[in-house]
Amino acid sequence: MRKPPSIAPARGRLAVLVPGLGAVATTLIAGVEAVRRGLAKPIGSLTQMGTVRLGKRTDRRAPLIRELVPLAALDDVRFGAWDVFPDDAYESACHAHVLEHDLLEQLRTPLSAIRPMPAVFSPEYVKRLDGPNVKKGRTKLDLGEQLREDIRRFLRDQECDRAVMVWCASTETFLERSAVHGELARLEKAMAANDPAVTPSMIYAWAALKEGVPFANGAPNLTVDVPALQQLAKKQGVAIAGKDFKTGQTLMKTVLAPMLKARMLGLAGWFSTNILGNRDGEVLDDPGSFKTKEVSKLSALEHILQPDLYPDLYGKFDHKVQIHYYRPRGDNKEGWDAIDIVGWLGYPMQIKVNFLCRDSILAAPVALDIALFLDLAQRAGMSGIQEWMSFYFKSPMVAEGLYPEHDLFIQLTKLKNTLRHLAGEELITHLGLDYYEK
């Protein structure tokens, strides 16, 4: 067994810093405030409600995750944010129309106290958005330095011992990796030269890593998924994770597709469409931002079904993904999947999924778990890409040369085995022959 690392205790306060104080971020913050006050339960959060089985099934040991490993307590979390709009967390939560007014009224005092710091933003990268609460700076490097100062000031003012940053801001326009992203020195030179290949989200990630703050990306932007920033993470000994919260339709896809493959059922096509009426939907109505999302959503099936290993089953299938901005639905996204599958002797069958979900209600517990696990990883000395957190992402980041693991239950097994490893417990292989060897 690999020796478990020693983990620094979760002493003092943890700052959870979020670029983007929109629907997801305010639902996260209001949710944590509500749970702290005993007004609601943290449903959907593995760190708050999940358990891990230890030892043999006959041992009946299944502690809560937060008792097995030292996670920051919700009472010790302080939220800070940046946004292009100056609305505080209460105003922004009201505008997002996710949580009921009654609940928000009870949380008005703590939410009103969270006012977003001026953002690093340019409408060039998010076409459907513009706002007044934006930093000014001569260069992107200068803007990055201003973010570093924000982080230091927040930690000082809120008397926090540690911080993590989770990107909850809008999806940026599609961008491919280029030479500028290849190594840290080039990226920093490009920041000083205001190169358009350096996006606002990269500037936040750079600032966080320079300050030794772990960074996770909840959107499908390239951001920290480039060698230059991965080098910086390694150099600074900082944990990173991403990208794109896995919530509605992709969550379903990464459960159903492994089932097809497990039973060797074929696939002729998978048609996915959604209607969504929140600000995220409006931003994704721009073709550049949608392309970023589409690439992220399309990748899961190919990786799960492995067409090269199973050409007869998955060698040729159609896969379409659409998101339509439809204002009346607000945050209550509706998704449809029409799945054409193939059975014994080539006979066709169909599966239909109609998921009436709430986007931010699904995303908030995911964002909370990511923040708490990133902080755990950092205290355990785990730097660079945290692949064990793939469970939470649509496009999991992995080391160069590896393909990402998308199957939700393989991801969960990996996550729980990582927690067992961190706690110095035996990993579980599910072999189980010893139960029958008496």
Ligand X SMILES: NC(=O)c1ccc[n+]([C@@H]2O[C@H](COP(=O)([O-])OP(=O)(O)OC[C@H]3O[C@@H](n4cnc5c(N)ncnc54)[C@H](O)[C@@H]3O)[C@@H](O)[C@H]2O)c1
Q: Which of 337, 392, 326 is nearest to 362 (CA)?
A: 392
Tokens coding 277:
């009426």
State the nearest-atom distance from the C-beta of 119 to ligand X, in Å. 3
Q: Which of 428, 432, 387, 433 is nearest to 1 (CA)?
A: 428
CA distance 240 to 389: 10
Binding mask 232-271 for ligand X (x = CB under 6 A): ------------xx-xx-----------------------
Residue with Cβ nearer ligand X (74 or 364): 364
Q: How many residues does the chain have?
A: 438
By CB under 6 A, tell whether 119 contacts ligand X. Answer: yes
Between CA 6 and CA 14, with CA 9 as vertex, the angle to 5 degrees is 130
By CB under 6 A, tell whether 279 contacts ligand X. Answer: yes
Binding mask 347-386 for ligand X (x = CB under 6 A): ------------xx-xx-----------------------
CA distance 82 to 120: 8
Cα distance from N-terminal residue to C-terminal residue, the chain: 26
Binding mask 71-100 for ligand X (x = CB under 6 A): -----------xxxx----------x----
**196-235: contacts with ligand X (CB under 6 A):** 200, 218-219
By CB under 6 A, tell whether 20 contacts ligand X. Answer: yes
Interacting residues of 389 by C-beta distance below 8 A, sequence separation 6+: 216, 241, 370, 373, 374, 377, 396, 415
Residue with Cβ nearer ligand X (267 or 374): 374
Residue with Cβ nearer ligand X (72 or 361): 361
3-state percent breakdown (helix, strand, coil) of the chain, nearest 5:
45, 15, 40
By CB under 6 A, tell whether 277 contacts ligand X. Answer: no
Please provide the DSSP assignment of 153-167 as one string: HHHHHTT-SEEEEEE
Q: Which of 106, 109, 83, 104 is nearest to 22 (CA)?
A: 83
- Pick the binder of ligand X from 169, 184, 209, 275 (CB under 6 A): 169
Residue with Cβ nearer ligand X (6 or 112): 112
- Pick the binder of ligand X from 10, 14, 19, 332 (CB under 6 A): 19
By CB under 6 A, tell whether 391 contacts ligand X. Answer: no
By CB under 6 A, tell whether 143 contacts ligand X. Answer: no
By CB under 6 A, tell whether 389 contacts ligand X. Answer: no
